[in-house]
Structure 1
Amino acid sequence: MSTFEALREQLEEAARAFGARDAVAGILSGMVDDVGRALGEEPEIFPVCHHSPASALAMARRLRDKRPSVIYLELCEDLAPLLEELRNCRLPVALQAFASELDGFPAAWAPLSVIAPITEASAEYQAIAYALDTPGVEVVLVDRSTDHVFQWEPREEPSAERKEPEEGEDEDDAALHGDAVGIEIGDLRPGFAELEEHLLHHGKVRHWSEWWDQYVEQPLAGADYATYRQVMVLIGSLFRRLRPERPGRDRRDEDRERYMWTRMREHLAATGADPSECLYVCGAFHAASRVEQFGLSADAEPYEITPRTGTRWSYGLIPSSHSAIEAQFGLAPGSVSIAAATFAKALKRGGVTPFRLEGQKGAAKRKAPKPSRAPAAEPATDRLSGYLASPPVLDGLDESELLGWCVDIVRLARRNGYLSSTADAIAVFETSILLAGMRGRARPTPYDFQDAAVTCIEKDSVPGRRDVRRLCEILLGGDRVGSVGYESLPPLARDVLDRLEPLGLDLTKRTIQRALLDLDADPALASCSRLLWILRRLLPDDAVRPIMGSRELGERSIQESWDLAIGRNQRSIVELGYEGVTVEQVLEQRLRRAVWDPKATAAIALEAVEDATLYLGGRRFADELGARAVELLAAERTVDDAPEVLRRVRRLLAYYRASEPELPAWCEAFVTEGYAHYCTLLPTAFTDEDTGVRQVGAMLGFLFGMESLALSLGCDHAQLELAVRQSHPEAPAKVALLWAARSQLGMASLAELRERCDELLANPLVIPSFPLYMSGFVQALVPFPALAALVVEVMSKAFARLPDAVLLPWLPGLITTLREHARELVPVLVREAGRTFPATLGAVDAWAPPWEASAPGAGAGAAAPAGGPVSELLAARPDTCDAVAALLGYPGGWTETASASGAAGALLVRHPETSAAVAVLLG
């Protein structure tokens, strides 16, 4: 008769007594078989649950009793070199594998990241600390590699999905793991939703973490090793047998188990280790495995492990936190902090000495236990029958502990703005006992206390940043945040800390620190300033934030002020270290990758040129990126980025003209290529409905603004004239743009442009679309800033001539149109209007519009007489007119008459609007 035969018969008889079907009896019987199978295998299987205090306590006891020489651990095998680095860290931290450049995976998955968090209250840490600090003991990681984690992911689905932080959770700490895939040892949670709902309902608890703490953690905290082991395998078997069938997930779980048993067999064969001196630490779910490779005595064919892909993985440690672990694995907020507090309390109560790595930050020094001979293996006995049949042990009320919680939560609440008092402390005490009694336990748990505090203190609003639930988590242990020591940081992170040392700040702290840089008084800080600006470009916005100072082309800050939170963003700096040795190298790689991306545009390349000039200095790399910008511009078939291209190339040209003796070759090539490119696309852009007026205005800005440089480099002005003549837009805004361009090319005079605007205002059918014409005229200020006076004039005429019945419905459309299409150009109009209109209210009555005063009695745009102040000025300075006449090929010559005769006088008579405009300017 087997060890568990009596238990099997009892369970089958109970199933028949309750009228259950044969399937239920089979499940119960199979669970007993799984327990017997797991206990009878070698190496000894140690089932655990992820971040379980009961598992950590049982592990510490078993390691001191058994003294295994080899520990097989369910953890990604390629993370093994990182284990020794845990000595330099403050837990919790996470082992990480990171890859930004993929080979063999879909490009949309990049970057890939896998993390395995480690806390002190976990069985895996106890095993690692024992193995690393005990001579002659080896820890072997046997789980699939990080590369295989993604090899087994379905290709049609994303590899990871970030879970949003819970309400009241610190988002910064919850995001410490980013979008990484979490690897955990012992994920014990029902895969059957109805089963979990049934357990929560009958357990009178709110979430799974509370059920697990009440019905598994607390009973097993003081149980002997044999009972712990059998109960954990039984729970793993139950959840495994009752979960719904999911072929993909089931296959991956079974492949993991085949992988681990294959690696253990390979290690035993290579080293000749005695299986009786080995310990296999795995999740309770995998301890109840039914794969054919389970156990060393299995006769199944060896599992074939596929080779890794060509992806290059980087490895390191990143800081973690309790809230990050909870967010990563879907645990209730505060559950990991409560587990850590439970573990610390159990250590004091049970007298268990845990294993801690020597020299680890935050760990107290301890004496190494004296080695003892491992006891002989005890025969497996049935502990489940007594455990399942006996009622739960009800701990007595610990009044001193509960009173301390109640007093401390009231004090903490008052500090955070709550109007709590002694009466609230009494209410929390009594409510905690009441809730515990309603839930069938004599001793209130931290979850009962938390619910009672929320009920009695929260009232109707949260006065500060933290609510009562969060305050309870802080009281019961807080969100402990780990850090990676200097020695375990990658070279880039160490280089950053070394180069910022002149600031005199402790950048490992998680607080925000203010750095003040007086670059004139201490020029040595210039290198720190340059590094901070690069970090500003590479790190999240809250890591390095400038308060005073800027970094623009051609500018230099005298003083700078920074808010630094580098310690809080240690994970981001560590991941930068996976990309290069220095931040300059990382920035160069990112810029080069951005401009050679298949979706790169000329605007992106120009931005990269500007960043390279600002942050890296030198000309070689900037010229390389500039040459790529020329290629991208020539290959573009749309003009969507024309405004950005114009803005950036203007800024770069101004910088090079001010700081360099000559323009770089790529700038000249970009101007000539852009001139021909935009001339070619201009007629199509005018008629294309998908091309906005802002884009067309930017194209004209490039063509007219860069024309002098383009012509000096060999471009032909006829290209621009031909492109404008071939343009035939229908949209009102583009029509206005075309009129402005034709006037600039001499195809239409300014007077004709005024007449057309007057005709539009006089036509009642055009009035509703007049805001669109105005939008086009405003966009024309980009290539033709001299038109600002005309735009102000036309808008003023509209407000002066249109009746209220037409003006009031038309005004909202004008405002929304200008806001949508010309937001950045409206200030130009405001400044021009300020120069045109009188500055005081008293001057308004005597003020006459300049467009009416310029031609009295003739209307706007009429020819002004050649005489007057203009002719007098020209007659007083004849050399200027003679020089202009000579350039135009006319002979000089002046008469003493009031009307300037000769070539200059004939020119003035032929073009009277020029004289009129100058006369207006002269008043």
Structure 2
Amino acid sequence: MTTPSEGAFTALRTQLQQAAATFADGPEALEGILLGIVDDVDRAVREPLEIFPVCHHSPASAIAMARRLRDKQPKVVYLELCEDLAPLLTELRNCELPVAVQAFASEIDGFPAEWAPLSVVAPITEASAEYQAIAYALETPGVELVLVDRSCDHVFQWDTREPRPAEPADPDAPAAQEETALHGDAVGVEIGDLRPRFAELEEHLLRHGRVRHWSEWWHQYVELPLGDGDHDTYRQVMLLIGSLFRRLAPGDPERVRVDEDRERHMWTRMREHLAATGTDPADCLYVCGAFHAASRVEEFGVGGTTTFEISPPTATKWQYGLIPSSNAAIEAQFGLAAGSVSIAASVWAKNLKRTGVRPYRLAGQAGAKKRAKPGKAVTPAGPAPAGPPPDRLSGFLRRLPVLDPLDEAELLGWSVEIVRAARRNGYLASTADAIAVFETSILLAGMRDRAKPTPYDFQDAAVTCIEKDTVPGRRDVGRLVEIMMGGDRIGRVGYDALPPLARDVYDRLAPLEVNPQQRGVRRALLDIAARPELEQCSDVLWMLRYLMPQGAARPIMGERRLGERSIQESWDLALGTHQRALIELGYEGVSIEQVLEQRLRRTAYGPRATAATVLAAVEDATLYLGSRRLADELGTRALEVLAAERSVDGAPEVLARVRRLLAYYRTSEPVLPAWIESFVKTGYAHYCTLLPTACTDEEASVRQVAAMLGFLFSMESLALSLGCDRTQLELALAQSHPREPSKVALLWAAQLQLGRLSRAELRARCDELLDNPLVVPAYPRYLSGFVHALEPVPGLADFVVEAVSNAFGRLPDPVLLPWLPTLISTLRSGGAELAPLLIREAGRVFPGRLAALDAWVPPWRAEAAAPVRPVRRAGGGGVALLAAHPATCDAVATLLGCDGAWEAAAPRGAELLDRHPDTALALEALLTAR
């Protein structure tokens, strides 16, 4: 075997040794790095199994890959991609690139619960070397594609991050664009993550290269020089870059361990496959990132000395599928400059046209500009040339950079097009701006030692000359340049590649005659009265609205409530834009009904379930699924949760939902379900028990206490019919001793409802509060309690209007004005049902015209000022009237429990009137009116 010193790179080693001795204080450190890089390159090119180093989304890598595949025609292609993603690659034929291969797990076993759900994506674009390898292997008969990288399960097994709770979203953070959010929070894996991990090195390269970011440096100094290079030059330069970045990477032991474990895993899988199939390594091609191609692990090569022990996967159940991707999503996930993937796609198209290379494409690939030609049978590769590969690095490193001549026609076309796009987006651009962009692009390129402006130079010039200091529309000029250079191409997963759930959704929405896969917002009109078959489409849309992100299915007209169905609906649909969310629903079940049922059960039986959330699940099960079985099961669960609760935080929501469910069942069912009867009975006893504590607990708000009393009073008749005892409520109120003014007012209203307090007594207490100067500052808090009391005692609306009116008339401004915002916020937050009661009662009491206001006297004042009328004795008008109407008097006597016949000397009705003078006056007024 040839030693490194005898190889093809002997001359290069000698030159590097001399350079190290000349430019370094001591040749040891620098010489070790430089010679180590050459050794890495020499080792990789000598490997019998050909290593093909690539960089992700690099047009130069894609061109070199297409050339090499046609020249070598390998029988086996080993690809650096998660090995468990292999079955999905054939579905790429049914997709429009870019798309991402995804592994998803919602129920995890073996990982911290805070990490769920787990998601891994591997985006694939047409201008990438991995797509060329995949298309070649799938379209060429007799070729086997083997994925050799760690599985998606091992991606998280080797993740050393500490379990941590999810951070709350920043409310001030700008909303993510739809294109950049296509991957969600998935972990991205890609072939060839080639970027310096040494921050000082990257800063040095950017500064001396006179570029802004890494994508521009790579485009200028690697993409363009390698675009026309031969195979040996390409391989050796990529290996050189990978070795350089690897040797100058900071010594993070954990990251180094993960990188080396991946390399050990890949070489172990390749040797296992070679041993099992007996394939000649010369007929194989190993496609991996340049960073991993320059590996120094002991398992490197087909003759590696050891075998890596691969740990078994966890018990996590993974689901696999394809999701749409976009250039912007790839750039955002992998830290690339905005527009770099779009520019790479345009460079790829130019390279194909310039070089005449025929790329590989999957047959029937959606969105492909050319139809892929059928692959030919594999022919054995020719004999490899004897001896080591020739040294191409020395010539490449000594060669001066070739300055491309200025293409004035291309630059002029760019300048005219960007001005046209800017004017369409609201900029006041003109022909003068096009000329300025043209000249500024040439100036910037000259300042950066380039004869031909790159797309990045042109972008800087356009921003400088057109955008100035304002952005009139939604897009800035930088974004317009990205769109002009190729746009943010967004992929789409075809119907045949979708999971069963997504296909079922599209099939069930077919009667709408709207293409649900088309991106953007589409309006769908449902005239259910004229076409009853559209009711099934309505059911699907309401379930999608519940399950998918906001905006995927948005109702414009129509609503769905318990016991109500719309006869006409209008929807804005954006299912094509949110296709990833629909696909991920397919990982949870085979139909949306199954997924919805699973989520409702997960909510009801989750560790944070409350009675309110479980009742919400009951309502949703009835509303969207119409499942009495599921509703009864979840209702029984709500009963269990309510009995175990020790707080009243969810009382307002519990009250609202129980009222709606009771109203629904009373109108749609012959009898109430057993669970809701038990819920009312248990809730009555439960809230009676918690009421004394809640009245004194500072954590319990007045709205929550009002909701408890609302439950007790509104459900009282049903609870008593089921066997509850009203004594529980009376004892609970007797044991309640609140100190907070609003709760005190709430307790007074409850006593009024039970008959323990009259309105006259309640009015007298309020007057005492207003007469006490020490209590006046706290009086608005009593009023807040009375406002909340409308929940349990809606008949108190007239008294609340009276109390608020007296407050406005008697409270001083320093007390009244600060209270008004509190009153408004109370009605807004918890008074959606209370405000109509007050408004209706105020409209009844107050005069309808402004002119009548001056002479208007409040009815409560008129009642207080009215003289007390004496009771008329026997022989008076009332007795005469009663004598004239004996049937009425008999009815009143029977009602009051007095039996007997009329007597001439002392009529029975007269005796009753003496005992009850108020009744006599009321009867007299009634009969007089008649």
Q: State whether TM-score is above 0.5.
A: yes
- Residue 292 of structure 1: how far off its partner (Å): 1.6
1:90–1:484 contact (8 Å) kept in structure 2:
yes
Conserved? CA contact 1:900–1:906, under 8 Å: no
Equivalent residue in structure 2 for 1:311, among 313, 316, 322: 316
Partners of 1:895 and 1:2 in 2: CA distance: 140
**1:322 is aligned to 2:303:** no
Read off the aligned partner of 1:213 and give its amino acid letter.
Answer: H
Secondary structure of 1:357's partner?
A: coil
Match of 1:156 in 2: 162
Instruction: Give the structure 2 partner of residue 773 of structure 1.
Output: 782
Q: Give the deviation of 1:366 after TM superposition.
A: 4.0
Which 10-residue stretch deviates more, 465-474 or 798-807? 798-807
Find the counterpart in structure 2 of residue 406 from structure 1: 415
Alignment: residue pair count: 914
* Contact 1:169–1:323 (CA under 8 A) maintained in structure 2: no
Q: Does 1:607 align with 2:616?
A: yes
Instruction: Work out which of the residue numbers 271, 277, 302 in structure 2 matches 1:271.
Output: 277
Decide whether the 8 Å contact of 1:56 with 1:122 is kept in 2. yes
1:527 to 536, 539, 553: 536
Cα distance in 2 between the residues matched to 1:911 and 1:172: 77
Corresponding position of 1:192: 198
Give yes or no for contact 2:56–2:128 (8 Å, CA) kept in 1. yes
Match of 1:451 in 2: 460
Partner residue, 1:110: 116
CA deviations 1:45-89 (Å, max 9, x no partner) are: 111111111110110011011111001101011110001111111
Partner SS for 1:74: strand
Tell me, which stretches of 5 or more residues in structure 1 are unaligned?
A: none
Name the counterpart of 1:634. Answer: 643
Tell me the SS of whatever aligns to 1:542: coil
**Correspondence for 2:256:** 250
Aligned pair in 2 of structure 1 residues 795, 617: CA closer, same or farther (>3 Å)? same
Cα displacement string for residues 794-819 of structure 1 (whole angstroms, at most 9, x for unaligned residues): 11112223345654565555555665
CA shift in 2, pair 1:337/1:310, >3 Å? same
909 and 451 in structure 1: CA distance in 2 versus 1, 3 angstrom threshold: same
Separation in structure 1 between the aligned mates of residue 320 and residue 748 of structure 2, nearest angstrom: 62
Q: CA deviation at 1:377?
A: 2.1
1:706-754 Cα shifts (integer Å, max 9, x gaps):
0000000000000000000000111111111111111111222111111
Q: Distance in 2 between matches of 1:491 and 1:267?
A: 33
Q: Which residue of 1 aligns with 2:3?
A: none
The change in CA–CA distance for 1:16 and 1:908 in structure 2 (over 3 A counts) is: farther
The equivalent position to 2:676 in structure 1, one of 667, 673, 684, is 667
Equivalent AA in structure 2 for residue 18 of structure 1: F
Q: Distance in 2 between matches of 1:556 and 1:467?
A: 45
Counterpart mapping for 1:90-109 below 5 A = 90-109=96-115
Deviations 1:8-67 (A, max 9, x none): 222222122113443222111111111111111131111111111111011001101111
Letter in 2 for 1:754: R
Q: What letter is aligned with 2:195? A: R
The corresponding residue for 1:354 is 359
Partners of 2:851 and 2:790 lie apart in 1 by 31
Q: Deviations over 1:604-624 (max 9, x none)?
A: 111111111111113111111
For 1:568-611, what per-residue CA distance to the aligned partner results, in whole angstroms no more than 9, with x for missing partners?
11111111111111111110111011100011011111111111
Offset, 1:899: 12
Matches of 2:851 and 2:412, distance apart in 1:
78
Q: What is the rounded CA distance, in whole Å, between the counterparts of 2:422 and 2:903 in structure 1? A: 96
Say which is worse superposed, 222-231 or 456-465, in terms of deviation.
456-465
- Selected match of 1:763 from 755, 772, 777: 772
Preserved CA contact (<8 Å) 1:891 1:903: no
Return closer, same or farther for 1:337/1:158 CA change in 2, 3 Å cut-off: farther
For 1:138-181, what per-residue CA distance to the aligned partner results, in whole angstroms no more than 9, with x for missing partners?
A: 00001111111111112524699999999999710111111111
**What is residue 676 of structure 1 aligned with on the other side?**
685
Spell out structure 1 runs of 4+ moving beyond 3 A: 157-170, 366-373, 802-824, 862-912
Where 2:802 maps in the other structure, the secondary structure is: helix
1:882–1:904: 8 Å Cα contact kept in structure 2? no
Cα shift readout 1:762-815 (whole Å, capped 9, x = no counterpart): 111111111111111111000000111111101111222334565456555555
Residues 60 and 223 of structure 2 are in contact (CA less than 8 Å); yes or no, is this contact kept in structure 1?
Answer: yes
Provide the C-alpha distance between the structure 2 equivalents of 1:878 and 1:623, rounded to a whole number of angstroms.
Answer: 57
The reply to whether residue 374 of structure 1 matches residue 369 of structure 2 is no
Inter-partner Cα distance in structure 1 for 2:767 and 2:169: 61
1:826 aligned partner: 835
Preserved contact between residue 337 and residue 478 of structure 1 (Cα < 8 Å)? yes
Where does residue 139 of structure 1 map in the other structure?
A: 145
- Aligned to 1:561, the other structure's residue is in SS state strand
- Bigger mean CA deviation after superposition, 4-13 or 263-272: 4-13
1:436, distance to aligned residue in structure 2 (A) = 0.5
Q: Give the structure 2 partner of residue 33 of structure 1.
A: 39
1:220 aligns with 226
Partner of residue 211 from structure 1, selected from 211, 214, 217:
217
Per-residue CA deviation, residues 538-597 of structure 1 (Å, 9 max, x unaligned), is 111111110000001111212111111111111111111111111111101110111000
Select which of 817, 839, 842 maps to 2:848. Answer: 839
Q: 1:385 to 1:543 in 2, by over 3 A?
A: same
Pairing 1:344–2:344 present: no
2:295 to 289, 302, 310: 289
SS at match of 2:320: strand
Helix, strand or coil for the counterpart of 1:171? coil
Q: Which stretch of structure 1 is more off in the superposition, 20-29 or 862-871?
A: 862-871
Structure 1 equivalent of residue 486 of structure 2? 477
Q: Distance in 2 between matches of 1:447 and 1:506?
A: 37
**Distance between the aligned counterparts of 1:565 and 1:870, measured in 2?**
76
Cα distance 1:442–1:857, how it changes in 2: closer, same or farther (>3 A)? same
**Equivalent position of 1:787 in the other structure:** 796
Indicate yes or no: 2:731 matched with 1:726.
no
C-alpha RMSD of the superposition: 3.0
Instruction: Determine what percentage of the aligned residue pairs are the same residue.
Output: 69
Corresponding position of 1:547: 556
Cα distance in 2 for residues equivalent to 1:88 and 1:286: 31
8 Å contact from structure 1 (residues 292, 298) kept in 2: yes
| Residue 125 in structure 1 maps to residue 134 in structure 2 | no
Instruction: Work out whether residues 8 and 29 of structure 1, in 8 Å CA contact, stay in contact via their aligned partners in 2.
Output: yes
**Stretch deviating more after TM superposition (372-381 or 117-126):** 372-381
Matched, 1:437 2:442: no
CA distance in 2, matches of 1:544, 1:407: 40
Contact 2:104 2:119 in 1 (8 A): yes
Q: Name the residue aligned to 1:466.
A: 475
C-alpha spacing 1:249/1:102, structure 2 compared with 1 (3 Å): same
| Deviation of the 1:196 alpha carbon | 1.1
Moved more, 28-37 or 889-898: 889-898
How does 1:174-189 map onto structure 2 within 5 Å? 174-189=180-195
Residues 904, 208 of structure 1: alpha-carbon distance in 2 compared, 3 angstrom cutoff: farther
CA 1:479–1:495: 2 relative to 1, 3 Å: same
Contact 1:169 1:333 in 2 (8 A): no
Q: Do residues 385 (structure 1) and 398 (structure 2) align?
A: no
Secondary structure of the structure 1 residue equivalent to 2:178: helix
Q: Bigger shift: 457-466 or 257-266?
A: 457-466
Q: Is the alpha carbon distance of 1:572 and 1:883 closer, same or farther for their aligned partners in structure 2, counting shifts above 3 Å?
A: farther
User: Once the 2 structures are TM-superposed, how far is the Cα of residue 499 of structure 1 from its aligned partner?
Assistant: 0.7
In the superposition, relative to structure 1, how do residues 804 and 358 fare at CA in structure 2: closer, same or farther (>3 Å)?
Answer: closer
Could you tell me which amino acid in structure 2 is paired with residue 568 of structure 1? T
Name the structure 2 match of 1:491. 500
Distance 1:876-1:796 versus aligned 2 partners, 3 A rule: farther
2:54 and 2:30 map into 1 onto residues whose CA distance is 26
Distance 1:458 1:169, change over 3 A: farther
How far does residue 848 in structure 1 lie from its aligned partner after superposition? 1.4
Structure 2: how far apart are the matches of 1:54 and 1:895? 121
Distance 1:600 1:167, change over 3 A: closer
Secondary structure of residue in 1 paired with 2:395: helix
- The one-letter amino acid of 2:351's match is A
Is the 1:686–1:734 contact (alpha carbons within 8 Å) kept by the matching residues of 2?
yes
